């Protein structure tokens, strides 16, 4: 049990580092006017979590590995709080259209990506 807790924590740290690096690269490329980095991170995280759960359901990943990857890595990688903050900041900056598009994009694209990950994992 202690080893699993340590592995989840280490995976979470790696997920946070991956989130930081990807966000930094996307921001340097696309600018700061719209939070493309967080959107990309949340959508890819949704895709991967769907894939992880499908592979676990097919017994290709153990439940222990599912915890390490989904709770650990993806818990550190994806970010609901940053998405919420960026949505509020877009609205506070007077850009309600972008705020709504960003929030809707995270939700809709996230759901589609999770469904796609499940479909890929189940081989559908």
Of the candidates 24, 28, 16, the residue with the CA atom closest to the CA atom of residue 78: 16
Q: Give the total number of structural domains in the chain.
A: 1
Q: Could you read off the pLDDT of 33-42 as tens digits, one per residue?
A: 999 999 999 9
User: Do the Cβ atoms of 31 and 23 come closer than 8 Å?
Assistant: no
Beta-carbon contacts of 100 under 8 Å, excluding residues fewer than 6 positions away, are none
Q: Cβ-count burial of 81 within 10 angstroms (0-12 exposed, 13-18 middle, 19+ buried)?
A: exposed
Query: Cα(first)–Cα(last) distance of the chain, in Å?
Result: 35
The pLDDT score that the predictor gives to residue 55 is: 97
Q: Could you read off the pLDDT of 24-76 as tens digits, one per residue?
A: 999 999 999 999 999 999 999 999 999 999 999 999 999 999 999 999 999 99
Helix (H) or strand (E) holding 56: helix 36-57
Domain region containing 54 = 2-122
The pLDDT score that the predictor gives to residue 120 is: 97
* pLDDT above 90 coverage of the chain, percent: 99
């Amino acid at each position: 049990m202690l080893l699993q807790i340590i592995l989840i924590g280490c995976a979470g740290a790696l997920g946070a580092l991956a989130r930081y690096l990807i966000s930094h690269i996307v921001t340097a490329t696309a600018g700061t006017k719209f939070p493309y980095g967080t959107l990309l991170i949340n959508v890819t995280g949704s895709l991967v979590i769907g894939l992880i759960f499908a592979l676990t359901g097919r017994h290709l990943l153990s439940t222990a590995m599912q915890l390490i990857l989904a709770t650990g890595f993806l818990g550190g990688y994806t970010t609901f709080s940053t998405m919420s903050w960026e949505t509020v900041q877009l609205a506070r900056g007077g850009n309600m259209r972008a705020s709504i598009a960003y929030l809707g994009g995270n939700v809709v694209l996230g759901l589609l990506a999770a469904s796609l990950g499940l479909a890929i994992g189940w081989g559908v």
